[in-house]
Amino acid sequence: MTRVTEKPTPTRGGGVLVQFVLLALTWGASFLFVAIALEGLSPAQVVLGRLVTGAVALAVICLVGRHRLPPFGRIWGHLLVVGLLLCVVPFLLFAWAQQDISSGLASIYNATTPLMTMLVSLLALREERPTRDRTLGIIVGFLGVLIVLGPWNGLGGGTALAQLACLGATASYGAAFVYLRRFVSPRGLAAIPVATVQVGLGAVVMLAIAPAVAITPVSLSVPVVLAVLALGALGTGLAYVWNTNIVGAWGATNASTVTYLTPVVGVVLGVIVLAEQVSWNEPVGALIVVLGIAITQGRLHRRV
């Protein structure tokens, strides 16, 4: 999801809280939906269905809300890059990884996105300075990642490669956010139209490469179809509108606390719905990752 903001429709406090809960549930459940979709589709087919459905949902939202798309030109080139970094690449990596790891573990790794974003910002943006809190937070956060990865269990297996793919996905998210901040945000474009274009371009890319990467036989069932629809219409469509409203009402920093809840939702749903097993190091490492995020955002310092 982008961090480009627009002036949302005024929303009552209770309504924003409901949207915040729905956002945490939807993004946390997205890894469960991927796991269900993989029962009948290949990773590339899951991503294709997710992006096409998400693009259609956002297009409908744009039409109903009478949002204007950005004028065609250089900005569309920038949004193509964003679509690749924020949608195509990470969605493919997560879907591929979830063939070998649980949905709960994937959701834990997704929580490293703020750390990756901070790290990429420090490397790519001159105005970002490696303050004490940011440096300490990144170190603590990646210590948590190391604990989740569990190097004492060996790093040569397929599961380890899948976990590294998840980190590659969140690194792609981080690069996308930094790219947005540098090349898109200064233009002051509205959030929903920007999301519509970037997801739409991501869908076009997947449609273009589908004959090469999404040609394996499919086994459709009601759960598989519903999972893909949920990933696209909810996780990439309505969730974006909710996120925009929350940022407008609460501010970007408070809205970002959804990051703390999505791995909890992901792990709980994986255990309840899919009977996934959780190793002791996964929740412990996740807590340390969340601690690292809180430190980089200065939350602990503000409460002292």
Q: How far apart are CA 128 and CA 121, in angstroms?
A: 6
What average pLDDT is seen over the chain? Answer: 86
Other residues' Cβ atoms within 10 Å of the Cβ of residue 131? 12
Q: pLDDT grade, residue 295 (50/70/90)?
A: confident
Between residues 279 and 151, which one has the greater pLDDT? 279
Angle between the N-to-C axes of helices 158-179 and 89-97, in degrees from 0 to 180, rounded to the nearest 10 = 160
Instruction: Express each pLDDT in 19-63 by its tens digit.
Output: 899 999 999 999 999 999 999 999 999 999 999 999 999 999 999
Name which residue leads in pLDDT, 208 or 7.
208
Lowest mean pLDDT across 153-157, 222-226, 262-266 = 153-157
The CA-atom distances, in angstroms, between 219 and each of 2, 46, 91 are: 33, 12, 20
Alpha-carbon distance of 248 to 292, in angstroms, equals 25
Whether 6 shows a pLDDT value over 90: the answer reads: no
Q: What is the pLDDT of residue 303?
A: 52
* Percent of the chain residues past pLDDT 70, beyond the cut: 91
For the CA atoms of the chain, what is the radius of gyration? Answer: 18
pLDDT of 244 above 80: no
Which pLDDT belongs to residue 9? 44
**CA distance readout (Å), 252 to 46, 150, 257:** 30, 33, 9
Q: For residue range 140-169, list pLDDT tens digits in order.
A: 888 988 888 777 766 545 688 999 999 999
Q: Cα 248 to chain center, whole Å? A: 19
> pLDDT digit string (tens) for 70-127?
999 999 999 999 999 999 999 999 999 999 999 999 999 998 888 888 888 888 877 7
Q: How confident is the model at residue 8 (pLDDT cuts 50, 70, 90)?
A: very low
pLDDT for 154: 64
Closest listed residue to residue 251, CA positions, set 26, 16, 25? 16
